[in-house]
Structure 1
Amino acid sequence: MSVRTKVLATVLAVGTTAALACYTTTSATADSVVQTDRGAVRGLVGEDTRTFRGIPYAAPPTGEWRWRSPRPAAKWSGIREATSYADTCAQVDHPIGVASTSEDCLYLDVTTPKRPGKNRPVVLWIHGGSFTNGATSIYKPERFSAQGDVVVVQVQYRLGAFGFLGSPLLGSGSGNFGLEDQQAAMRWVQRNAAAFGGNPSNVTIMGESAGAYSVCDHLASPTATGLFQRAVIQSGPCAQEYSATNYAAPRPRAVAEQYSRDLAGSLGCTTADCLRAVPADRLLAASGSAKFGPVLGGPVLPLHPAVALASGKVNRVPVLHGINHDEEHGRYGAQEAATGEPITDAEYEAEVGKVFGADAGKVLERYSDIHPAGLALSTVLTDSQWALPAARSNLLLSSRMPTYTFEFAGKAPWYAGLREPAWPFGSHHMSDLAYFFDLAILEPLNAGQQKLADEVIARWSSFARTGDPNVRGTKYWPRATPLDRQVQSLNPAGITRTDFITDHRIAFWR
């Protein structure tokens, strides 16, 4: 872990701990009991919502069931208490996660408006965390559910080597157990949404970062056909290619199998039974800094989402797709703010050289108008690593299905407890989530940001309800076309149309 990552991890870990401690609810009442297909659950009734935590949607993938497809959860008698979060899936300590060695983690949480209702849209939230970290407990969806009048389901899924180990020892189609978990949760929604006031025929899958890449994967997955009717993709462009810097995108099976050989070799294993017998803590330690994620090939993900879109072999549903205007500004702005040391010109040039090799000189020349070095580096990496694949994704998606494109822009909430950097940090990676969820790792919304939050919740819930994000009294949001240069700019200062292609210098990167 680099110095800059350690600094950011320390800062964000404080906020994450606070997030787990600050939430309060009222006591349970008779209205908090719901009958699911496996048994009754009792949740918590708050001021505006009912929340049910730790509902099993699949059996524990432990022992001989490690690295197998999810199985149905066991039935239970009586009323199961659904008032506490389940164990998080095995992962190391991280700012956006909760350290755990548990493999009994295939649970979901449901939040629904308190007022009576039925046939509400269902939003299935898939958390981010680079496919190695994350937990439902970090994201508080009560505001989203109550204001949007939607049922929010949050799913935990196997992470890291537990969820994405692609090995011949486990079968030729292995490597996407985490995606299979997510699809098992979608099937749970089909069976149980109505009991919570939701419409099982109107399900939106929504994700950010690794969660957004997951949504792209489900668009391309034959095994997800019919399990959802809309898709929201935030900061996870479907056209992103796997690389050393973009490791959340689906990776070639050869790459995944090399990871698996390295891991098995370090553990002294030559059989699947040996791997399944390794304790979770030892497996986590052996995984080290390896980057796991979805694997191409097999029944769950036969094609890269970009290839599937280009060929038309996709699940065609209305889509909201976009990124944040300043994705990388949080990473480098936090480094400078935490250390008090600005990134130097020499460090900027070295990093550009590392990423772009022989083309580094062209990149430095094209971005010579941006200062200081930290801002320039953040902008270069945002445009090349995020905006370029987002532009291609916008074209591919709008060629195949109703698509509405956007980017979050303007000054978003900064990290709680960390001073702001000396240069404008804008809308950085993950900051868009503050408009939908309450996260203690980010500063509270100011008046302008709260106004934007109210509007985007209204738009996202309208999209979940009808497939169209337009609501009365707001700026019209046109459906995207493959030749569009503009996207909807979601900015606390006002929502406008913006030239995404020019702003992010896409012609240069192409």
Structure 2
Amino acid sequence: MRRPRNRIGAALVAGLVGALSLGAADPAAAGREAASSAPSVRGTTVRTDAGWVRGAEAGGHRLFQGVPYAAPPVGELRWRSPRAVTPWQGVRDATAPGSRCAQTTDDWGLPASEAEDCLYLNVTAPSRPARGGGSRLRPVVVWLHGGGLTRGAGSDYDARELSGRGDVVVVTVNYRLGMLGFFGHPGLENSGSFGIEDQQAALRWVRRNAAAFGGDPRNVTLAGESAGSHSVCAQLTSPSAAGLFHRAITQSTPCGAGSFDGTPLRPVLDLPLWLPKASYEGYGQYLAALLGCADPGTAPACLRGKPVTDLLAQQPLPLPGYGNAVLPEDPAKVLQEGRFHRVPVLTGITRDEGTLFAPLISQEPMTAEGYEAAVNTRFGAAGPEVLARYPVGTHDGPPLQAVAAIMSDLDWAWPARDTDLLLARHVPTFSYEFTDRTAPPLLPPPHGIRPLAAHGSELSFLFGVGWESAPLTPAQRRLGDTMIDYWSRFAATGDPNRPGLPAWRRVRPGDGTPYVQELSPGRGGIGPFDRASAHNLAFWDDLAARGTGAGRGAGSGHP
């Protein structure tokens, strides 16, 4: 079945442009609840700690959708930490997703939503007995969706293939987004990262309820891509997340700034990873004034009285804030000092991350002359060296293709290498690079840019995804099967290796150049990958060491 096109791709692009916590009783749920108080269909009706839920079973899977994990954050609960659900009577229907968290629409077809009652999750589990037989519980994978912390939903990811082939229970999660999830204001207690708190609420729900769905609450892997990966990094550093997960998977957003720390060389998309309290509260006061709530004493009540449509018209900076209960310290500092949770990590990027984001640099087609001027403006004295390393003519595309190559190397591969080494000093770390340049893209980039192995292009190899794209070829499906085997083996044991799979070495901090596993279809497509050569990392190291590459023209932070 083909789905509405380009949902997740739109979410990723639009997002950049622009203490109990159980499930919630939906005030409108009375019509969704059956009259009985006991299960009527074996295997599709499960008792959670808040009440019975009835899902659906088909094709060897059990699927439970729209299961509440926290009270609706509406009215006086808007911009408060997630609260416990009110238990319900009878059997709650769990055969349709819950509402998407409030978000605006965009040019690529992502559904809009005005729902604040949105803290729901979805559970996918095989209907057959677990491998190994008996009453063995399966590993649990909790998936945090991408979308720049302003778009998306857990229901955009169909986890049946991952769950069935991988023999894992998969939980996909909604969490508050944008103004409702990451708004900060001095009048709101512990503001700035309510969406991160929601994710922890979902993890606590998993700890209490996973076994009812056949999942092992003592073997939980927290995984995500893009903004979901950014969220996993936040959870790795949050004291209140301790013990809620036992492994971590980060896709296409390295946790650390890597070599950017302490050097004048900055990424093209020069965005912070985390916001300090003074920044997000100061910006929140500015937004409050725009909304007619400038008085600090009355701002919280005033803001809670505003319709959600007014809030969605004023988006905050889509970044987690620290200096609150869930993120008391700068996560970058916590990571750099090695004080994050000691869990194995599987982490990686795609070969051409920048092709999705290069259009953000120039909304109109860029000429060769414009490219040269932009690079010289951005990199100052090092501009001629960058142009020599990334000439327009060698990238088989328009000038923005060269910008995309710079971004892939400088913004993603450079920090990914250093983050791999940072993590490996403390925990088992396995690094990959997805290099299939024929993979279906999230969405075709404009201006004639070739997508190649673009940001998010690995998702359709792991999930059924919520956008229309070309089907995978047989070779690509085989690669997807191998990736699912790696991901699920890592979820089960903390190591992706098992007999029958190509060997995947751990990152060793003493190696200097971390080992990277290439993931590509075809014969020889899986094995060691030379990320340093593919992404010109020695070139960027040299610029950083010489203190060049920091030049910025007036009013221009990037090409």
Q: Does the alignment pair 1:491 with 2:509?
A: no
Q: Secondary structure at the match of 2:353?
A: coil
| RMSD of equivalent CA atoms | 2.8
Report if aligned partners of 2:350, 2:433 keep a CA contact under 8 Å in 1.
yes
- Residue 304 of structure 2: aligned partner: 276
Deviations 1:53-102 (A, max 9, x none): 00000001111111110001110011000011111101001448431111
Structure-1 separation of matches of 2:323 and 2:138? 36
Among 329, 350, 354, which residue is 2:355 paired with? 329
Q: What's the offset of the Cα at 1:360?
A: 3.3
Q: What's the offset of the Cα at 1:457?
A: 0.1
Q: What's the offset of the Cα at 1:418?
A: 5.3
- Residue 146 of structure 1: aligned partner: 164
Report if aligned partners of 2:179, 2:314 keep a CA contact under 8 Å in 1.
no
Q: What's the offset of the Cα at 1:504?
A: 1.2
Structure-1 separation of matches of 2:153 and 2:286? 27
Change (3 A) 1:71 1:408: same
Question: More helix per residue: 1 or 2?
Answer: 1
Report if aligned partners of 2:355, 2:445 keep a CA contact under 8 Å in 1.
no
- Residue 230 of structure 1: aligned partner: 247
Report if aligned partners of 2:8, 2:152 keep a CA contact under 8 Å in 1.
no
Q: Does the alignment pair 1:210 with 2:227?
A: yes
Structure-2 separation of matches of 1:350 and 1:75? 62
Report if aligned partners of 1:88, 1:102 keep a CA contact under 8 Å in 2.
yes
Q: What's the offset of the Cα at 1:226?
A: 0.3
Moved more, 244-253 or 53-62: 244-253
Change (3 A) 1:356 1:255: farther
- What are the equivalent positions in structure 2 for 1:346-495 lying under 5 Å apart? 346-353=369-376, 355-356=378-379, 359-368=382-391, 370-371=394-395, 372=397, 373-415=399-441, 425-439=451-465, 440-482=467-509, 483-493=512-522, 494-495=525-526
TM superposition score normalised by structure 1: 0.89
Change (3 A) 1:11 1:189: closer
TM superposition score normalised by structure 2: 0.81
Change (3 A) 1:49 1:356: farther
Among 291, 296, 301, which residue is 1:267 paired with? 291
Change (3 A) 1:89 1:356: farther
Structure-2 separation of matches of 1:423 and 1:165? 34
When the two structures are aligned, how many residues end up with a matched partner?
A: 485
Structure-2 separation of matches of 1:236 and 1:15? 15
- Residue 7 of structure 1: aligned partner: none
Moved more, 412-421 or 57-66: 412-421
Q: What's the offset of the Cα at 1:496?
A: 1.6
Regions of 4+ moved over 6 Å: 14-17, 241-244, 333-336, 419-423
Q: Secondary structure at the match of 2:222?
A: strand
Change (3 A) 1:184 1:243: farther
Report if aligned partners of 1:334, 1:418 keep a CA contact under 8 Å in 2.
no
Structure-1 separation of matches of 2:342 and 2:109? 31
Report if aligned partners of 1:12, 1:415 keep a CA contact under 8 Å in 2.
no
Q: Does the alignment pair 1:252 with 2:269?
A: no
Q: Secondary structure at the match of 1:170?
A: coil
Q: What's the offset of the Cα at 1:207?
A: 0.2
Unmatched 5+ stretches in structure 2 = 12-39, 131-135, 261-265, 542-559
Q: Does the alignment pair 1:34 with 2:46?
A: yes
Structure-2 separation of matches of 1:402 and 1:433? 24
Change (3 A) 1:398 1:52: same
Q: What's the offset of the Cα at 1:246?
A: 5.3
- Residue 302 of structure 1: aligned partner: 328
Report if aligned partners of 1:29, 1:45 keep a CA contact under 8 Å in 2.
no
Report if aligned partners of 1:113, 1:151 keep a CA contact under 8 Å in 2.
yes
Report if aligned partners of 2:503, 2:527 keep a CA contact under 8 Å in 1.
no
Unmatched 5+ stretches in structure 1 = 1-9, 18-27
- Residue 25 of structure 2: aligned partner: none
Report if aligned partners of 1:129, 1:210 keep a CA contact under 8 Å in 2.
yes
Q: What's the offset of the Cα at 1:445?
A: 0.7
Structure-2 separation of matches of 1:139 and 1:57? 18
Q: What's the offset of the Cα at 1:391?
A: 1.3
Report if aligned partners of 1:131, 1:248 keep a CA contact under 8 Å in 2.
no
Structure-1 separation of matches of 2:325 and 2:359? 41
Report if aligned partners of 2:420, 2:514 keep a CA contact under 8 Å in 1.
no
Structure-1 separation of matches of 2:5 and 2:387? 31
Report if aligned partners of 1:411, 1:492 keep a CA contact under 8 Å in 2.
no
Q: Does the alignment pair 1:111 with 2:120?
A: no
Deviations 1:329-368 (A, max 9, x none): 24459999xx9x9643134335435654554333222223
Structure-1 separation of matches of 2:450 and 2:74? 47
Identity %: 45
Moved more, 297-306 or 403-412: 297-306
Among 20, 42, 67, which residue is 2:79 paired with? 67
Change (3 A) 1:313 1:13: closer
Q: What's the offset of the Cα at 1:301?
A: 1.6
Structure-2 separation of matches of 1:264 and 1:466? 47
Change (3 A) 1:353 1:42: farther
Report if aligned partners of 1:45, 1:51 keep a CA contact under 8 Å in 2.
yes
Moved more, 419-428 or 389-398: 419-428
